[in-house]
Structure 1
């Protein structure tokens, strides 16, 4: 039997967050059934998990297709596991490797922290950057050189672009079909547009056309990929390891907060934490 809960991850207390379906079962359904359930729920992702030994076999589905890794659904899963089985760290076996999620009770709510897959980053190819700029009607002068355009990976792949002007970020818009085609052609899970509000805080908007939605209100996988890229670039505020905050979803009326903790080791997994709220 598959039991489905609906949980918003990375909530700002009792507001916002990114909705995820969480489906727990004794055994995972077949792929067609998981896809049908995810399509029926309609959230950007639904996570499926079943216990095997001391681990949980875990898979993620958008309404359109299976996804290798989803941060906000992992946070939602952590909260559900904590509520059902108690606070602690749970080992997850994904299609592409193993991670953990830790659940803890905070002020009557559940908070979870995932440890991501290993990270890597490299400069964004100039031809791809040109396509991204065209998609969002951006110009090279709109970019903040503090973080060069980057291809970043933490379980899945993201294009990361830092904008100089917060107001320019607020006006983000693009053609959904064109965005889906671009992302499919370059194996991108999101295109992450950011604005640096300080050296330890970013405002973010994440286009998720490949999943059939214009924008995600909170994106844990992109947060982990950004963290890996900042470590690779020797970001001054994170030398020796450190923590930074991403504020996402504010421009779409779903305020979300992600807390990201890094080591100082390039390529190492990072930790992404946030509160949850039931839906």
Structure 2
């Protein structure tokens, strides 16, 4: 990446989200001060970092909640190596933990392109920081049989590979994801697809990832997220898709009005991550929580 004459390259932090191991979870870039960076520069920084997303923070331009302490509200934008995305869960968790390490735990407020996202960071007995984001209002939409057929063909799946109790839907909680449920863990483990074809399919339908899932039990799922529109084959841990999936399960009455879900992601990539999803009765928004740790040169 090159910078304009006289400009200073932004300081990029690197964190792994949804893990306590720097070699696990999903790595994210974090730029805590992106003041003065234009879109082209942020995209170039994200491409150079090479992670699925990098978050860029600037001081809040909208009025923060009255309950929030000064200096804890930010405008946040997210860039993949190829394009801007409206919301990214793992980069939100990584950013919140990075901020908490510098300004202390507690409540934060992120104004994103998808809407307002409150985040709370708390410390555990061992000092590990856990961030919980609250999604924007989610919704779940039907998907045409033709689109499902094309997605399955691109993945090399057939309709027999699907779990009939979890039908395909498009779920949104800040970004759009096509949910496809595998009938077996073996089907989920064998992920190979036409990268360019799936990227075109997803771009034409404004999809951020495919949320591929296998249900272990009523509240435990294994998930994988192809992300060719972002320039990567697969996302190791996807907070935005986890939030959308929580909304999907509630819409289909697969869980009660209040539920806690555990999502395992990244195992097949050698980067295991753990995502907690919480649904609260009387609140449509979905909460996703996880830990994050710095990635050092040795990590």
TM-score by length of 1: 0.95
| Aligned partner of residue 27 in structure 1, secondary structure | coil
- Return the index of the structure with the highest Cα Rg: 2
Give, in whole Å, the separation in 1 of the partners of 2:39 and 2:276. Answer: 32
How far residue 74 of structure 1 moved from its aligned partner, in angstroms, is 0.4
- Residue 276 in structure 1 maps to residue 299 in structure 2: no
CA contact (8 A) 1:115 1:269 kept: yes
Q: Which moved more, 1:83-92 or 1:28-37?
A: 28-37
**Is 1:78–2:86 an aligned residue pair?**
no
- The answer to whether structure 1 residue 239 and structure 2 residue 256 are counterparts is yes
How much has 1:114 moved relative to structure 2?
A: 0.7
**1:193 shift after superposition:** 0.9
Using the size of structure 2 for normalisation, the TM-score is: 0.89
The question of 1:104 aligning with 2:112 is answered: no
Aligned residue for 2:47, secondary structure, equals helix
For residues 15 and 63 of structure 1, the distance between their equivalents in structure 2, rounded to whole angstroms, comes to: 20
Tell me the SS of whatever aligns to 1:270.
strand
Matched residue SS, 1:147 = coil
What CA deviation, in whole Å up to 9, does each residue of 1:164-183 have, x standing for no partner? 11011100110111111111
Summarize the alignment of residues 197-236 of structure 1 with structure 2, pairs less than 5 Å apart: 197-235=216-254
Q: Distance in 1 between matches of 2:282 and 2:144?
A: 24
Cα distance, 1:182–1:110 mapped onto 2, change above 3 Å: same
Report the equivalent of 1:19. 27
Within 1, Cα distance between the matches of 2:17 and 2:237? 8
Per-residue CA deviations over 1:95-135 (Å, capped at 9, x if unaligned) read: 23111111122222221111111100022211110011101
Measure the CA separation in 2 of the matches of 1:273 and 1:44: 19
Q: Shift in Å at residue 14 of structure 1?
A: 5.6
Give the equivalent residue in structure 1 for 2:278: 261
Q: Aligned to 1:31, which of 39, 49, 62?
A: 39
Contact conserved, 2:20 with 2:293, CA < 8 A, in 1?
no
Distance 1:50 1:245, change over 3 A: same
* Separation in structure 1 between the aligned mates of residue 219 and residue 98 of structure 2, nearest angstrom: 29
Structure 1 residue 15: deviation in Å?
A: 4.7
Whether the aligned pair in 2 keeps the contact of 1:28 and 1:48 (CA below 8 Å) is: no
Following superposition, the deviation at residue 242 of structure 1 comes to 1.1
Q: For residues 9-67 of structure 1, what are the alpha-carbon distances to aligned partners after superposition, in whole Å with 9 as ceiling and x for unaligned? A: 01155651100000011725211111111111111100001223642011000011111
The one-character-per-residue Cα deviations of 1:120-155 (angstroms, maximum 9, x if unpaired) are 002221111001110111111111112111110111
For structure 1, the residue ranges without an aligned partner over 5 or more in a row are none
Q: CA RMSD in A?
A: 1.5
Q: Which runs of 5+ in 2 are unaligned?
A: 1-7, 65-72
The whole-number CA distance in structure 2 between the counterparts of 1:103 and 1:78 is 7
The answer to which of 96-105 and 142-151 deviates more is 96-105
Q: Matched residues in 1 for 2:22 and 2:79: separation? A: 26
3-state SS, counterpart of residue 222 of structure 1: helix
Which moves more between the two structures, 76-85 or 26-35?
26-35
What SS is found at the alignment partner of 1:25?
Answer: coil
C-alpha distance in structure 1 between counterparts of 2:37 and 2:277, whole Å: 32
Which range moved further: 157-166 or 94-103? Answer: 94-103
Aligned length: 276
For residue 168 of structure 2, what is the aligned residue in structure 1? 149
Task: State the secondary structure of the residue aligned to 1:59.
Answer: strand
